[in-house]
């Protein structure tokens, strides 16, 4: 691996200087892609750095212990909350970003989302070949049915018996051992995230990775950052000093995610430098349900997710997927306390799980801001439309699981902790908006999108369709914050396609500005 040698001596009063041509901030689906796509420029003498807030994670240390792994990978241990504390946001840090902890679910951006974005230059004709490239590069494939566990099979069976749409989605794994803890980091590096695929290629070509680097703000063409001289999460060092650096660059590409990219821009240029900075956040609010079967389901063996249903996307704006979460993560989704919770958890091997994701609209008031300390805050209103979609999704999930053979289930939004099979025909009366209470139902999101939306006008967007920030000659964005509205599906493949496009624009702009047109040499 190619790393910058960080000085571990006590920091002097003045900033230490690092000099690069191109600096990429963040190493997830966006940053890892940009780093790989631009890395061939290193062979021409271009110096490129990839900065990452978190450490290099070591696959062998992913021990499948839920609390320890959540603390290791996620911001706030996976418990980052909106300001109203009625939704939890899951996004990760570490080389590879959130691609370390996704389940590998791979969707292409649907045409309906592209049309809704309505950004000149952004079309399926442009994005589709880019998405195809990363489908191949990341090993996306449909799992052999012989490897699909009972939890997923029962989701499919329930949909088929009801006559609902059901389909298998591709997952991007290689040599998967079916350990099931995809959301907690893979012990075998089977999941093909940027830390496994794109970043090693970038490093081989000469991109220098700087982990444990917090970007404070941008100052002209410089990045002001603090770096902890710690190689990885295993390192034990008595020197925990944070050193201040001024990292100089000709081009800066922000890929810190929908929460942190807007926050960096606001810390750098003020909260009002652009009228829509941080605005129009979408996130596919999600909710997990579980049902008990009379025989074992054993859903923790094999890939956790294989099937989805778009049956209610057009009518009620929610998507259903099979899923499986380990006991601690699952228990947070139960509404109640005491013996009923203990009893349900004790039946864990017999539980089938589903997840409902609401396809939320982009609203101006849903936004990122920064507090007095410059830290990101997320303001998001789970409005009546979203709540109505959730209630309908809970009923649909209950119907699906009863049809698949469950004898009882737990449904947020119900007047009682358990609903039994003999009550399956009373779901409309038992699950209502009256009983669906924000702050009680456990709503979460792992699909954070928006905050630096693309467009033509600085009055209505933060960047153009190539990710260049309006009014900034050398500053770009290449992550999920570019989305003008939700992607309607898992966004990681779309983020990679947009990052591929941004990298193309950066390359062309860099070479035109910093190459001697007569000799072809870099200036």
- 378 three-class SS: strand
- 500 three-class SS: helix
Of 464, 429, 165, nearest in space to 310 by CA: 165
pLDDT at 14: 67
- 398 three-class SS: helix
Q: Model-level pTM greater than 0.85?
A: yes
Query: Tokens 């902790």 sit at which residue?
Result: 417
The residues, ordered by sequence, that sit 6+ positions from 480 with a Cβ below 8 Å of its Cβ are 29, 30, 257, 258, 447, 448, 449, 450, 491, 494, 495
What is the distance between the alpha carbons of residues 102 and 181, in angstroms, rounded to a whole number?
10
The alpha-helical segments, DSSP class H, found in 332-383 are 339-346
Q: Please, which residues bridge with residue 463 across strands?
A: 454, 469
What is the distance between the alpha carbons of residues 396 and 484, in angstroms, rounded to a whole number?
29
pLDDT tens series, the chain, 523 aa:
444 555 544 444 568 999 999 999 999 999 999 999 999 999 999 999 999 999 999 988 888 889 899 999 999 999 999 999 999 999 999 999 999 999 999 999 999 999 999 999 999 999 999 999 999 999 999 999 989 999 999 999 999 999 999 999 999 999 998 888 889 999 999 999 999 999 999 999 999 999 999 999 999 999 999 998 754 333 333 345 568 999 999 999 999 999 999 999 999 999 889 999 999 999 999 999 999 999 999 898 889 999 999 999 999 999 999 999 988 888 888 998 889 999 999 999 999 999 999 999 999 999 999 999 999 999 999 999 999 999 999 999 999 999 999 999 999 999 899 999 999 999 999 999 999 999 999 999 999 999 999 999 999 999 999 999 999 999 999 999 999 999 999 999 999 999 999 999 999 999 998 877 776 677 6
pLDDT at 10: 44
Query: Tokens 């003498």 sit at which residue?
Result: 45
pLDDT at 287: 96
Distance of CA 489 to the CA centre of its chain: 12
What is the distance between the alpha carbons of residues 72 and 89, in angstroms, rounded to a whole number?
16
Instruction: Label the pairing between strands 444-445 and 88-89.
Output: parallel
Please give the full DSSP string across 159-228, using - where no structure is assigned: HHHHT---EEPEEEBSS------GGG--TT--B--TTTTHHHHHHHHTPEEE-SEEEEEEETTEEEEEE-
- 455 three-class SS: coil
What is the distance between the alpha carbons of residues 267 and 486, in angstroms, rounded to a whole number?
25
Contact indicator for 352, 401 with CB cutoff of 8 Å: yes
What is the chain's Cα-based Rg?
23
Of 83, 465, 50, 424, nearest in space to 247 by CA: 50
Contact indicator for 215, 24 with CB cutoff of 8 Å: no
Distance of CA 362 to the CA centre of its chain: 17
| Domains of the chain, earliest start first | 16-82+89-105+125-139+184-282+450-479+489-514 (3.50.50.60)
């Amino acid at each position: 691996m190619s790393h910058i040698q960080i000085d571990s001596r006590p920091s002097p009063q003045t900033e230490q200087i690092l000099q690069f041509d191109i600096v990429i901030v963040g190493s997830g689906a966006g940053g890892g892609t940009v780093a790989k796509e631009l890395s061939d420029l290193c062979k021409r003498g271009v110096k490129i750095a990839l900065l990452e807030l978190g450490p290099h994670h070591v696959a062998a240390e992913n021990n499948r212990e839920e609390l320890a792994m959540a603390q290791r990978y996620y911001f706030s241990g996976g418990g980052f909350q909106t300001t109203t504390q009625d939704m939890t946001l899951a996004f990760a840090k570490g080389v590879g970003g959130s691609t370390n902890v996704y389940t590998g679910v791979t969707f292409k951006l649907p045409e309906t989302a592209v049309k809704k974005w309505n950004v000149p230059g952004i079309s399926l004709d442009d994005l589709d070949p880019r998405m195809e490239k990363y489908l191949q590069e990341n090993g996306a494939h449909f799992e052999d049915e012989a490897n699909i566990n009972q939890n997923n099979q029962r989701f499919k069976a329930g949909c088929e018996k009801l006559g609902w749409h059901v389909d298998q989605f591709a997952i991007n794994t290689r040599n998967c051992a079916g350990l099931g803890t995809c959301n907690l980091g893979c012990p075998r590096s089977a999941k093909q995230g940027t830390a496994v695929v794109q970043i090693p290629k970038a490093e081989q070509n000469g991109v220098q990775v700087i982990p444990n680097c917090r970007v404070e703000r941008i100052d002209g063409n410089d990045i002001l950052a603090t770096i902890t001289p710690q190689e990885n999460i295993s390192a034990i060092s008595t020197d925990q000093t944070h050193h201040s650096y001024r990292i100089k660059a000709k081009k800066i590409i922000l890929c810190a995610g929908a929460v942190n990219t807007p926050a960096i821009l606001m810390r750098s240029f003020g909260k009002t430098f652009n009228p829509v900075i941080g605005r129009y956040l979408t996130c596919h609010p999600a909710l997990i349900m579980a049902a008990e079967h009379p025989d074992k389901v054993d859903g923790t063996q094999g890939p956790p997710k294989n099937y989805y249903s778009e049956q209610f996307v057009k009518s009620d704006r929610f998507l259903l997927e099979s899923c499986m979460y380990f006991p601690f993560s699952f228990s947070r989704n139960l509404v109640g306390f005491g013996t009923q919770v203990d009893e349900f958890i004790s039946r864990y091997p017999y539980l089938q799980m589903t997840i409902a994701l609401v396809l939320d609209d982009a609203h101006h008031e849903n936004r990122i801001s920064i507090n007095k300390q410059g830290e990101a805050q997320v303001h998001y209103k789970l409005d009546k439309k979203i709540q109505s979609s959730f209630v309908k999704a809970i009923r649909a999930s209950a119907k699906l699981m009863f049809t698949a053979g469950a004898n009882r289930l737990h449904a947020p939004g119900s007047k009682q902790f358990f609903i039994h099979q003999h009550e399956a025909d009373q779901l409309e009366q038992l699950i209502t908006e009256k009983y669906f209470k924000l702050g009680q139902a456990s709503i979460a999101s792992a699909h954070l999108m928006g905050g630096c939306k693309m467009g033509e006008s600085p009055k209505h967007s933060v960047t153009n369709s190539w990710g260049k920030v309006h009014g900034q000659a050398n500053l770009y964005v290449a992550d999920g914050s570019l989305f003008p509205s939700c992607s309607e599906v898992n966004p990681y493949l779309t983020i990679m396609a947009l990052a591929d496009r941004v990298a193309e624009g950066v390359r062309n702009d860099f070479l035109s500005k910093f190459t001697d047109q007569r000799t072809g040499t870099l200036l």
